[in-house]
Amino acid sequence: MSLIQNLIRRLLLMIPMAIGITLLLFVVTHIVPVNPLAVILTERSMDDPEAIHAATEKWGLDEPLPVQYLVYLKNLLQGDLGTSFKTKNPVASDLKDFLPATIELSICSFIFAILLGLPLGIISGYKSGSFVDQVTRIISLLGASMPPFWSGLLVLFVFYYKLGWAPGPGRINPRIGAPESVTGLFVFDSLLKGNMPAFWDSLHHLVLPSIILGWFTLALISRITRSSMLEVLSQDYIRTARAKGLAEKLVILKHALRNALIPLVTLVGLAFAGLMSGAIMTETIFSWPGIGRYAVESAANLDYPAITGTTLLIAIIYMLVNIFVDMLYTIIDPRIREG
Amino acid sequence: MTVTVAEALPKTVDSPIRRSLRSLRRNPMAMLGLVIIVFWAVAAIIAPFTPMRDPLSQTINDRLQSPSAQYWFGTDELGRDVFSRVIYGARISLPIGFVVILFAVMMGVLVGASAGYIGGTYDLLIMRLADITLAFPSIVLALAIAAVLGPSITNALIAMVLVWWPEYARLMRSQVLSVKNNEYVTAAVALGASRGRILMTHILPNTFAPVLVKASLDAGSAILNIAALSFIGLGAVPPTPEWGAMISTGRYQFYSWWLTTFPGLAILMVVLGYNFLGEGVRDSFDPRMT
């Protein structure tokens, strides 16, 4: 089967999955008997008979549950995720506002995790048992065992409160103000507009949350690289490469590393799930206005439309990431493509 | 001299389980993990019988005291002893983490094994439900479920089990599928054993290792996630001394660093303990997974 055919098949298979996901979310939000109007309307419009009538009509609330689900699905297809009762905005537009902050933070933490995790993994695989290997082991153990909401507070305490090296929570110093929005990524936007103070300040604000969020991914990357490196180095073709007198550097970089990196690709899906779970905690601690914090706040305020909207968005992105990973894997590893 | 066959054989047959347990006992990291967990379990059990202060009693005059000989871990904003709150916190986190995994395993094993064994439409429906649940990063769905159910530690537990069982169901199903075509199962069928009996006595015991390995690796995450839900305000409610909730109330009070430092260290220690033990169990019971 060709790559394109496979991709189309996977994307088509997403449709029943997406319907299943909406059904699950609908069931979850309807098991508890609350007055749905209280969920949809703001407090003030609860006294307004006209608003009640309009909402009942729009969401089909006088219909039986299966019909209500179909109405929900129909609204969803038109991009209507309902209205958040905390922010009073349509959930879809809220998500559009909050998503860039999460994307910016995720990209930075991923860069941090790869820049540090890859070399650490390679060295500890090449020299297993060495000092670097031990340190890497401790770093990755901590990454998997520390609650991010605590490690976040810890680094804020040390680098913001005690040493004053890093800025406090938030995305940018309010006195500098957010750069004019193009993509919503502050670092990118401020660079685009030549707003250097905003560029440096938003970059500065990114450092601590990126480290905390990236730590889990770092642990994942360094461990997989290490074990993959160990396995590849014991292969016959490595011995052959050495036997024919190739420089050790070339053996490692050209023969071992290229093959050792293949399993890393499968990790991206797992890393994404980790990033999303971590973003929920990290964004809360660093007052980062992204969808993780939006999800937490809507959960704490029992803001159902916002919760279901955010959860749905994350699940859809997660599915797309997994398809992308599978495709990438087929492209990189010819054994799968031709096998 | 003649020797009978029975005499020539070793006295005891070394079962694989016994062999695995022996290698676990010889693994220093795993034993360190076990010691940490036992230490916290003992502390949690004996806490009420020690002269430790009541974790809920407030001494208003001693609010926000830094750690001292009198208050080892200081006091919080209501003058409660942080040390006894941290120790009593183990009475919540330790059993909850265990129960989440236990229920998720039981539900997953039951559902997954029956799906793999029965097959057909039942299998299809169950596995699609599992797929859908696994389409969410687990904490995200748990957040939504816990929010709908309302904040309480029991609801957080239910939410965690609901998002976690599919992983075990999937694992169990694939195990059953690979075991059920073995010759000893065919033999049992030929002998006229009932389906339930075959599943319980011939199939399940032979699928046990991977489930045990996964469960012991997951225990630490369960504790982390419960603490996370409490931190957000969807788990334990005040004044319950729960580690995640304690960190939540103490956040940004950088001057009173002891409010968050000690509960965090407690979480770190317990989760590290579980991860050490979990990796040891994996190395001993399933060498292929290393």
E-assigned strands of A91-243?
A: none
At B247, list the tokens.
Answer: 């960190």
Burial of B264 (0-12, 13-18, 19+ CB in 10 A): buried
Would you say residue B53 lies in a domain? no
More confident residue, A303 or B156: B156
| For residue B248, pLDDT beyond 60 | yes
Would you say residue B160 lies in a domain? yes
| For residue B205, pLDDT beyond 50 | yes
Instruction: Give the pLDDT band of residue A339 (cuts 50, 70, 90).
Output: very low
* Range in A49-53, A142-146, B126-130 with the lowest mean pLDDT: A49-53
Instruction: Give the pLDDT band of residue B274 (cuts 50, 70, 90).
Output: very high
Residue with tokens 């499968």: A266
Would you say residue B60 lies in a domain? no
Phi first, then psi: what are they for A83, rounded to 5°?
Answer: -115, 130
A190 and A181 Cβ atoms separated by less than 8 Å: no
Asked if A273 has any chain B CB less than 8 Å from its own CB, the reply is yes
B220–A144 C-beta distance less than 8 A: yes
The strand pairing partners of A90, in sequence order, are A83
Rounded Cα distance, A196 and A203, in Å: 10
The strand pairing partners of A83, in sequence order, are A90
Out of B131, B231, B232, whose CB is closest to A17?
B131
Asked if A158 has any chain B CB less than 8 Å from its own CB, the reply is no
Total domains in the fold of chain B: 1
Altogether, the residues listed in chain B come to a count of: 290
SS (H, E, C) A238-280: HHHHHHCCCCHHHHHHHHHHHHHCHHHHHHHHHHHHHHHHHHH
Range of the domain at B77: 26-46+73-284
A191 and A185 Cβ atoms separated by less than 8 Å: no
Would you say residue B170 lies in a domain? yes
B226 and B211 Cβ atoms separated by less than 8 Å: no
What's the pLDDT score for residue B290?
41
Asked if A300 has any chain B CB less than 8 Å from its own CB, the reply is yes
Would you say residue B137 lies in a domain? yes
* Range in A43-52, A285-294, B206-215 with the lowest mean pLDDT: A43-52
Rounded Cα distance, A304 and A302, in Å: 6
Instruction: Give the pLDDT band of residue B161 (cuts 50, 70, 90).
Output: very high
B224–A273 C-beta distance less than 8 A: no
Chain B interface with A: residues with Cβ < 8 Å: 128-129, 131-133, 135-141, 143-150, 220, 224, 227-228, 231-234, 244, 247-248, 251-252, 254, 257, 260-261, 263-264, 267-268, 271-272, 275, 290
Could you give the residue ranges of the DSSP H alpha helices within A167-195? 186-192
Q: Which amino acid is at B93?
A: S
Neighbours of A210 (CB within 10 A): 23
What's the pLDDT score for residue B167?
92
Rounded Cα distance, B86 and B97, in Å: 16
Asked if A159 has any chain B CB less than 8 Å from its own CB, the reply is no
Question: What residues have CB less than 8 Å from A295, skipping those under 6 apart?
Answer: A280, A306, A307, A310, A311, A314, B140, B143
At A122, list the tokens.
Answer: 């390679």
A276–B254 C-beta distance less than 8 A: no
Separation in Å, CA of B181 to nearest CA in chain A: 26
Asked if A29 has any chain B CB less than 8 Å from its own CB, the reply is yes
Rounded Cα distance, B112 and B109, in Å: 5
At B177, list the tokens.
Answer: 């599928």
> Running DSSP on this structure, what letter comes out for residue B64?
T
A20–B128 C-beta distance less than 8 A: yes
Predicted confidence (pLDDT) per residue in A247-295, tens digit: 888 888 888 888 888 888 878 777 887 888 888 889 999 999 999 999 9
Rounded Cα distance, A309 and A306, in Å: 5
Question: What residues have CB less than 8 Å from A189, skipping those under 6 apart?
Answer: A179, A180, A181, A182, A183, A195
Out of B145, B149, B228, whose CB is closest to A147?
B228
A281–B268 C-beta distance less than 8 A: no
Determine which of A32, A145, A298, A312 to mutate to test the interface with B (most B C-beta atoms within 10 Å).
A145
CA distances from B151 to A280, B93, B94, B97, B234 (A): 17, 16, 19, 17, 4
Predicted confidence (pLDDT) per residue in A86-127, tens digit: 787 889 999 999 999 999 999 999 999 999 999 999 999 888
B144 and A28 Cβ atoms separated by less than 8 Å: yes
Out of B137, B144, B224, whose CB is closest to A299?
B144
Would you say residue B289 lies in a domain? no
The strand pairing partners of B75, in sequence order, are B81
> Running DSSP on this structure, what letter comes out for residue B53?
P
Rounded Cα distance, B97 and A325, in Å: 32
Rounded Cα distance, A18 and A73, in Å: 11
Separation in Å, CA of B202 to nearest CA in chain A: 34
At B157, list the tokens.
Answer: 């537990």
Asked if A150 has any chain B CB less than 8 Å from its own CB, the reply is yes
* Range in A122-126, A164-168, A265-269, B172-176 with the lowest mean pLDDT: A265-269
Give DSSP secondary structure letters for A45-106.
Answer: GGG-HHHHHHHHHHHTTTS-HHHHHHHHHHHHHTT---B-TTT-SBHHHHHHHHHHHHHHHH
Rounded Cα distance, B104 and A186, in Å: 42
State whether residue A306 is helix, strand or coil. helix
What CATH code is carried by the domain that includes residue B209? Answer: 1.10.3720.10
Which chain A residues are within 8 Å of B267, Cβ to Cβ?
Answer: 146-147, 150
Would you say residue B20 lies in a domain? no
Which chain B residues are within 8 Å of A82, Cβ to Cβ?
Answer: none
What is the chain B residue with the closest CA to A309? B144
Would you say residue B54 lies in a domain? no
Rounded Cα distance, A121 and A221, in Å: 7
Predicted TM-score (pTM) of the model is 0.86
